[in-house]
Amino acid sequence: MNRSPRTCRRWRRRLKSSSDAALASILPTSRCSASPSASPPRCNRRRIASTRSKTATNQPLPSLRIELMLPDDILFAPVRQQGDLIRTKKLSPVELTDAYLDRLDKFGPKLGAVVTITADLAKKEAKAAADEIAGGKYRGPLHGIPYGVKDLIATKGIPTTWGAEPYRNQVFDYDATVVTKLRQAGAVLVAKLAMVELAGGFGYGH
């Protein structure tokens, strides 16, 4: 997916001061350059909603919710590199989480890989992580990093279906140990992921 020069320059400025050479190479220069003969780049922003009536005449312009999409190079970067960006405050856990939630909503149903998107919880945990980091409390390399767990794993207050229809509405009042440890590390739960029924281990491609 092509990214506008403005978006790429923005992220290269964020990466420029990093001491990690591998981190600084996340955005290849060739993807950020624009050919002089090319048509003007389109702004990499998506208009999400507009409430303006076609018949309105003397109405004020409506407010639009504009989302700046993160480059794929950031979204597909290794966790260690994302963690470095968060630690050095070049990337916010909130914007990273929002970007993944957007992709889950867009591609999850098509791929059949997602059972539950935990958007409200994810936004709450991402905001908490951002506030802690801004206040000087950094828990470690998973702080502010979004993740998903298979729907075999217990999550408090969130359906855990084990991939089986009879357990569609099953909800536990506790978290599995792995979820507890990830939360303690500051990671952000964004989704419960699809699995074969009762972890049968066959006939599933994800």
Chain segment 106-142, per-residue pLDDT in tens? 999 999 999 999 999 999 999 999 999 999 999 999 9
Look at residue 84 and tell me if it is in a domain: yes
Chain segment 2-40, per-residue pLDDT in tens? 555 565 566 656 655 544 544 444 444 434 334 444 444
> What's the rounded Cα separation, in Å, for the pair 120 and 20?
34
pLDDT number for residue 200: 85
Tokens 């303690």 locate to 184
Look at residue 173 and tell me if it is in a domain: yes
In this prediction, residue 67 has a pLDDT band, given cuts at 50, 70 and 90, of very low
Q: How many domains does the chain have?
A: 1
Look at residue 1 and tell me if it is in a domain: no
* DSSP letter string, 6-58: HHHHHHHHHHHT-S-HHHHTSS-HHHH---TTSPPPPP-EEE------TT-SS
Helix (H, G, I), strand (E, B) or coil at 115: strand
Report the mean per-residue pLDDT for the chain: 78
pLDDT number for residue 69: 74
Task: State if pTM tops 0.75.
Answer: no
Range of the domain at 92: 72-200
